[in-house]
Structures are given as structure tokens and as C-alpha cells.
């Protein structure tokens, strides 16, 4: 039973890109941060093992949802959805807004010792970089979700990490929202 649950939980992770904002009441929101830089604003939400990024610039609003379920998700405004399995790159151009979204997704299943070492390294990373984070304990051990945001003049870079003790699952996303400038 546990093996089946591990496989289902890691296989159900997906990235969903929306051309609109999402509502916080749909999620188990645990940590929120807003970064405003130049013409754009990026809001990030952390949930246990999941995140939402909302990028707004003028009348463009795009949201990235990384989540471990497929049911009860909003369907309005979906640009694309794809599973978080192995390594994957995705790119979408918002032509009317001269903006682009790029994403790279990587997943790994680690041994217990390697998972624990990675978890310790990520906690140190959070302390050193004052990263947005949320940690929680499950029957399988310590879990951690982290978001780092690097605002730049014409783009914003976001690295997100989700460490799930059940099965030693690690999900890393690197996302970029670019815009054409001032």
C-alpha cells in the first residue's frame, strides 16, 4: 500500500500555467510573499509541497501552479498543464503583452540518507538566503517547500524546491517571466 501511495503521489505532480490570477481560498496557503520591481509584481504562495506564482505587469496576469493533485483545479484560463516527471522544459509567449514564460522542471527520488542530506542543505540555504519556506512533518519525516525570487529589470527568476520525505521525492522548478522592457 505505501509503495502504491508513493508512486501515485510523485506521479500526480504537475505544472499548470494560467492566463489569470488564482484565488487563495482554493489552496492550503501557508506562506505568502510579494515582490514589486519596476513594472511588474510577483506574488508567491507556498503550500505543503505545492506553490503558486502570480506575475502581473499592466494588463497581463499569469499564474504558475505546481501541485500534487489533478482534481478540483480551476479550468478557466489554462494555457497548458504537464506532469512533473524527470526533466522537462516549457516555453510560452504572451504575444499581446511582449512577455514570455519559461520553465524547467526536474524530479528525483533519493535514498533516505541522500534525502536527509539534501534536506539539511536546503535548510541552510533558507537561512543564508532568507528564502520563503514552509516545513512540515509527516509520518515519513521532515518535508520542505522553498521559493527563491531574483527580480531583474526585464525578467524575474524563480527557483522552487519541494522535498517530500515519503519516497525521498525532490521536485525543483526554475521559472522565468520575461518582458519587453519599459
How is residue 33 written as a grid cell? Answer: 510573499
The CA distances from residue 134 to 31, 60, 126, in Å, are 7, 28, 10
pLDDT at position 5? 41
* pLDDT tens for each residue of 24-71: 999 999 999 999 999 999 999 999 999 999 999 999 999 999 999 888
In the predicted structure, residue 157 carries a pLDDT above the cut 50:
yes
Q: What is the mean pLDDT of the chain?
A: 92
Does residue 4 carry a pLDDT above 90? no
> Is the pLDDT score of 101 beyond 50?
yes
Short-list 108, 99, 138, 116, CA closest to 10? 108
Asked if residue 58 lies in contact with residue 39, where contact means CB atoms within 8 angstroms, the answer is: yes
pTM of the model as a whole: 0.91
Q: How far apart are CA 114 and CA 172, in angstroms?
A: 16
Task: Give the chain's domain count.
Answer: 1
92, exposed or middle or buried, with CB in 10 Å at 0-12, 13-18, 19+?
middle
CA distance from start to end of the chain? 55
Residue 26's domain spans which residues? 2-179
Give the residue from 2, 1, 3, 12 showing the smallest Cα distance to 171: 12
Task: Quickly state the pLDDT bin for 85 (edges 50, 70, 90).
Answer: confident
Cα distance between residue 164 and residue 48, in whole Å: 9
The pLDDT-based confidence of 3 (bands split at 50, 70, 90) is: very low
Amino acid at each position: 500500500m505505501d509503495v502504491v501511495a508513493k508512486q501515485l503521489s510523485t506521479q500526480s505532480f504537475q505544472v499548470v500555467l494560467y492566463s489569470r490570477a488564482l484565488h487563495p481560498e482554493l489552496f492550503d496557503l501557508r506562506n505568502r510573499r510579494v515582490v514589486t520591481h519596476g513594472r511588474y509584481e510577483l506574488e508567491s504562495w507556498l503550500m505543503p509541497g505545492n506553490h503558486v506564482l502570480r506575475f502581473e505587469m499592466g494588463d497581463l496576469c499569469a499564474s504558475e501552479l505546481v501541485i500534487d493533485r489533478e482534481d478540483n483545479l480551476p479550468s478557466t484560463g489554462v494555457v497548458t498543464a504537464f506532469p512533473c516527471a524527470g526533466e522537462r522544459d516549457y516555453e510560452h509567449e504572451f504575444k499581446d503583452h511582449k512577455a514570455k514564460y519559461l520553465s524547467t522542471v526536474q524530479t528525483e527520488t533519493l535514498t533516505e540518507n541522500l534525502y536527509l542530506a539534501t534536506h539539511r542543505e536546503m535548510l541552510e540555504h533558507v537561512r543564508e538566503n532568507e528564502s520563503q519556506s514552509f516545513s512540515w512533518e509527516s509520518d515519513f519525516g521532515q518535508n520542505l517547500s522553498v521559493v527563491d525570487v531574483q527580480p531583474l529589470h526585464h525578467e524575474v527568476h524563480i527557483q522552487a524546491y519541494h522535498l517530500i520525505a515519503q519516497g525521498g521525492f525532490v521536485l525543483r522548478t526554475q521559472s522565468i517571466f520575461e518582458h519587453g522592457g519599459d
